[in-house]
């Protein structure tokens, strides 16, 4: 039978959960009287940073959408920082499809400024997984997940294996241009991609990111919201999301990857935009720019056809600016 890693055991102990009451089903799953837990052991500096960012992202998302994402019991690192244990709530996923309208509303609730009016009248989530759920229930004012009113995040987060540059910026155009698109183009070191980026950066990016209405405001993003990172809680039938690559950014940026792989219906977008109206002008083109980030990231990680997809989006947007400028 698998055993808890010592660092994972320390997380349970720090959270007041007696490890002797747990049944360890696998290296990533433990069950106890209060429910099931997802357990993770990471080793190596990059993996530890990834776990640290995942936990901080989940905590940030729970500030505004506690019923959508798993609760984090904690993270414990080794003295040398080369290993870490993490424990979070485990979702038993159902077989049915996600209620797209409910998912759209849940993501829209998440895209609120912490403490702002909106969502449920009393600010409470509707968690039926056996414990209370209160948006903002853990306000880590000194933690990396804290909201600062700026764009970025207080620690590194990872989209896939790619470390994201979350250095704070005061405006959205600077952040998405330099910390997201520009950073990946530089890492790819691809001459053709870099040439297309220079054209895109000087023409389409200012048109799409400098000014639009409603204006951007920094809200917590999932960051990797493709269909493989959402599911249905088997106990409640409600949509859930996991495996974030979080940062504070323009809410509509979370929708970019939903167009890349599909799996999201009109009901999702209609429900989302009933809460957050589509930005104007150039909503569709701005969505392509947000989608571009994920094509570039997949090209960096996997190469192949993703590079061609990134180049196609870049060229299409540059061509589009010709019509706008005419």
Question: Among all residues, which ones are annotated catalytic?
Answer: 224
Rounded Cα gap, residues 293 and 175, in angstroms: 12
CA angle 184, 148, 168 (to 5 degrees): 25
Burial of 248 (0-12, 13-18, 19+ CB in 10 A): buried
Measured distance CA(205)–CA(207) in Å, rounded: 5
Q: What share of the chain is helix, strand, coil (3-state, %, to 5)?
A: 45, 15, 40
Sheet holding 23-26, edge to edge: 23-26, 29-32, 35-43, 83-89, 72-77
Q: Are 84 and 75 in contact (CB under 8 A)?
A: yes
Which residues, in sequence order, are bridge partners of residue 163? 158
């Amino acid at each position: 039978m698998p055993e808890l890693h010592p660092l994972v055991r320390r997380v349970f102990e720090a959270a007041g959960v007696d490890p002797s009451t747990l049944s360890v089903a696998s290296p990533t799953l433990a069950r106890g009287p209060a429910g099931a837990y997802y357990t993770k052991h990471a080793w190596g500096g990059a993996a530890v940073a990834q776990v640290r960012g995942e936990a901080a992202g989940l905590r940030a998302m729970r500030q505004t959408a506690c019923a959508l994402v798993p609760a984090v019991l904690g993270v414990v690192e080794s003295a040398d920082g080369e290993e870490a244990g993490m424990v979070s709530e485990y979702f038993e996923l159902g077989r049915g499809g996600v209620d797209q309208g409910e998912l759209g509303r849940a993501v829209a609730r998440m895209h609120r400024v912490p403490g702002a009016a909106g969502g449920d009248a009393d600010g409470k989530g509707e968690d039926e997984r056996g414990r209370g759920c209160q948006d903002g229930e853990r306000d880590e004012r000194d933690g990396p997940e804290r909201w600062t009113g700026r764009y970025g995040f207080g620690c590194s987060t990872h989209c896939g294996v790619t470390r994201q540059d979350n250095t704070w910026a005061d405006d959205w155009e600077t952040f998405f241009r330099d910390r997201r698109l520009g950073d990946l183009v530089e890492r790819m070191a691809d001459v053709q991609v870099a040439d297309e980026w220079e054209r895109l950066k000087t023409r389409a990016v200012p048109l799409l990111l400098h000014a639009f209405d409603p204006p951007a405001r920094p809200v917590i993003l999932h960051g990797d919201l493709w269909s493989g990172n959402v599911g249905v809680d088997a106990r409640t039938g409600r949509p859930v999301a996991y495996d974030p690559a979080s940062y504070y950014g323009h809410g509509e940026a979370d929708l970019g990857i939903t167009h890349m792989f599909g799996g999201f219906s009109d009901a999702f977008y209609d429900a989302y935009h009933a809460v957050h109206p589509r930005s104007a002008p150039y909503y569709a083109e701005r969505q392509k720019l947000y989608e571009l980030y994920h094509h570039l990231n997949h090209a960096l990680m996997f190469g192949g056809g993703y590079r061609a997809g990134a180049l196609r989006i870049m060229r299409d947007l540059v061509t589009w600016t010709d019509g706008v400028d005419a």
